Structure 1
Amino acid sequence: MPNDDRSPLDTSAGPGDAARRIHGAMVAFAAGDALGVPWEGRPPERVDAAEVVRLPAPDRGWPRGSTSDDTAQMVLAARCLADTGGRPSSMDFLTRLADAAPGVRGLGPTTLRALAHFHATAELPAPSAADLPTNGAAMRIAPVGWAVPPHRTERRRSLCETLSAATHRAPAAVGAACVIAAMASFAVEGAGADDLLDAAAAEARWAGERYGPMDAVADAARGRWSPPREGVSLDAVETVAAVVHVIRETPGPAAALPYAVSLGGDTDTVAALAGGVLGARDPDGVTALGWLRLVDLGEHPGLGDLAVRLSALRETAAAGLRAEGAG
């Protein structure tokens, strides 16, 4: 059932600014997901701006305030990181996803194919020229950025590859995930909007060299990208460009999440990812969302404690970097 009037950020986030920011990011991610679910798949002209923040019940028969596979996979990825001390394997995540899948709403086509392959073979999906660069890897990857500080770039990118490979092997899907993780990492440091855009552009340049063109993301960071008239597709690069565009165009969660939904198409993923970045940058702005109590977080208890565990991983990674520097 939806939350009561008490803010979920007032409970168990624990000590430390990083834990508070990560908790805010998790809640904002789920809030963006729930806000977008009723409008998923609609073109922008069929998104009623006045109704968005009222969280109408989704047409597909889900309860009002429901989250989708976006939040479910994000929480799975976060728990996988925490439970493995920040060293998960691709199979660690895929096994957890397969166990959880019967209760997860709205799994995407690439993820469903990977799960079918896993059930048939007990193996990870193999790379194929037919792999579609859909956004499922980027969808769940924000916890990597929350758990790894900005200057541990090799560690962050390696984790992006590992968690992406569980279901998504298309190079562009992995590159898009790397951009989301980079922004999430800088957001936990309290980076301003310009710094987040710079981080996105820099990671897109790196990812473009390794995984293929990421021009749309770099263009969005510089204000040279426009949302598609038909709505944002499942394409990973287009999705991340839309998230970067939202961050550039809006000042904080209160404006950003409804604006993300207004772009149409894959509304829940774009809004969730924008929330996952901006909630870390501005957790107080998440608390101030007047409609937050309508979001059903009941399926994902213990987010505050999970945030503490991810912040501990972040501190361990930072301490490792300091030790390397001292040596």
Structure 2
Amino acid sequence: MAPPRPTTTLSPRQSRVVGALLGLHAGDSLGATLEFESHAAIASRYPNGLRQIVGGGPFSWPAGHATDDTDMARGVLLAYRDVKPRDDIARLAGDNFLKWQCGEWPGRTPGSPPVDIGLATATGLERYRESGDPDRAGAGEGSAGNGSLMRCLPTGLFQPDGEKLMEESVRISRITHDDSRCTVSCAAYNAMVAELIDGRPADEAVRAGEALAARLENGDDGPVHAAMATGRRVQVADMARRGPPAEMRGQCSGYVLETLALAVAAVLDGRGLEDVLVDVVRIGKDTDTNAAVAGGLLGARDGEGAIPAAWREKLQFGDEFREIALALTTTTTTK
């Protein structure tokens, strides 16, 4: 059954919160088909980009199925749904990650492990399983993949206090990715998300993310702040046509700072969500995560109605995400 269509009963804020979650899920599912493929290979198969969620890819995903990106974001989302006043949100998220890893996960055959899990994520979760402490896990400095950035979105959506948003973004990242490039990227990303769902323009949202990065890096010459500056310079459409620029030496293949830069470029792109996400996938390599991270910002910017209906009806957790988003989001904000 297709998910409910956007209705006029949603406040603008509710629409943006729902749009952010579905944008992440849709970007993940769109990009999963072409994960690991080069820009040149994608250009030869889809000269104008892949515009439908069709599944497949290296892990033979059913169309619209959650990869590890959406599954782990779901782990954070369920933590915010279930949190009680004295709970540690990072511990709740970490416990959900362990359930996901060992197969105690709704939507998957009991006992079956994830089809795909990153090395830093697996290492961090093993350390978390041993310590039970989200602040004493992580894969260590030097592991700067995008595996915590891909899942951090719910904090930006559901933690209204700016200081707590920063703290929770850092601590939930630290469970698996405790390198400062990862923790600061998650905090800066969620600062942008919070501005977008409040109805502020994309440029203001990026400035908020840059300000938080500068605060956490003790100045504006840190690596996360620099990555956001790169995002301001590059153009998604140009990269879709020509491939990643030389300054992105990892070719958008999973380095957290390149994924963050690409997301900044995406949210500053004046086109609609669909065209931007199609072009993000055209760039190649870590197509599912790059599109998931960009899709979260674009959905927060443009709202639920920006997600194509043909995409929404295929999303594995589309109904669930919408239901939780509406339960956790008030209708009082009218921006």
TM range (shorter): 0.7 to 0.9
Q: Which consecutive unaligned segments of at least 5 residues does structure 1 have?
A: 319-327
Question: How far does residue 307 in structure 1 lie from its aligned partner after superposition?
Answer: 0.4
Question: How far does residue 279 in structure 1 lie from its aligned partner after superposition?
Answer: 0.9
Contact 2:80–2:89 at 8 Å: present in 1 too? no
- Between the aligned partners of 2:121 and 2:139, the Cα distance in structure 1 is 14
Contact 2:35–2:57 at 8 Å: present in 1 too? no
1:175-194 per-position Cα deviation (integer Å, ceiling 9, x unaligned): 11011101111111122222
Contact 2:141–2:180 at 8 Å: present in 1 too? no
Question: How far does residue 153 in structure 1 lie from its aligned partner after superposition?
Answer: 2.2
Q: Percent identity?
A: 24
After superposition, where does 1:1-327 map in structure 2 within 5 Å? 4=1, 6-10=2-6, 15-47=10-42, 48-50=46-48, 52-56=50-54, 57-85=56-84, 88-101=88-101, 102=103, 103=108, 104-120=114-130, 122=132, 124=134, 125-126=136-137, 130-149=141-160, 152-209=161-218, 212-223=222-233, 227=245, 228=248, 231-287=251-307, 289=308, 291-293=310-312, 295-297=314-316, 299=317, 301-312=319-330
1:95-115 per-position Cα deviation (integer Å, ceiling 9, x unaligned): 111112235442211111122
- Secondary structure of 1:136's aligned partner: coil
- Between the aligned partners of 1:10 and 1:105, the Cα distance in structure 2 is 32
Q: Which consecutive unaligned segments of at least 5 residues does structure 2 have?
A: 109-113, 236-243
Contact 2:171–2:183 at 8 Å: present in 1 too? no
Question: How far does residue 129 in structure 1 lie from its aligned partner after superposition?
Answer: 5.3
CA distance change for structure 1 residues 112 and 220 in 2, over 3 Å: closer, same or farther? same
User: Which stretch shifts more, 219-228 or 162-171?
Assistant: 219-228
**Bigger helix fraction:** 1
- Secondary structure of 1:178's aligned partner: helix
- Secondary structure of 1:39's aligned partner: coil
1:30-53 per-position Cα deviation (integer Å, ceiling 9, x unaligned): 000001111111221222244511
Q: TM-score, with normalisation over the residues of structure 2?
A: 0.80
- Between the aligned partners of 1:85 and 1:252, the Cα distance in structure 2 is 37
Contact 2:146–2:254 at 8 Å: present in 1 too? yes
Q: Aligned partner of 1:52: which letter? A: L
Question: How far does residue 204 in structure 1 lie from its aligned partner after superposition?
Answer: 2.8
- Between the aligned partners of 1:221 and 1:79, the Cα distance in structure 2 is 30
Q: How many residues align?
A: 306
- Between the aligned partners of 1:115 and 1:72, the Cα distance in structure 2 is 15
- Secondary structure of 1:168's aligned partner: coil
- Between the aligned partners of 2:270 and 2:155, the Cα distance in structure 1 is 24
Contact 1:135–1:234 at 8 Å: present in 2 too? yes
1:143-166 per-position Cα deviation (integer Å, ceiling 9, x unaligned): 1111134xx321110111221122
- Between the aligned partners of 1:130 and 1:196, the Cα distance in structure 2 is 28
Partner of 1:322: none
1:75-119 per-position Cα deviation (integer Å, ceiling 9, x unaligned): 210110221147534322111111122354422111111223344
- Between the aligned partners of 2:261 and 2:209, the Cα distance in structure 1 is 9
Q: Aligned partner of 1:96: which letter? A: N
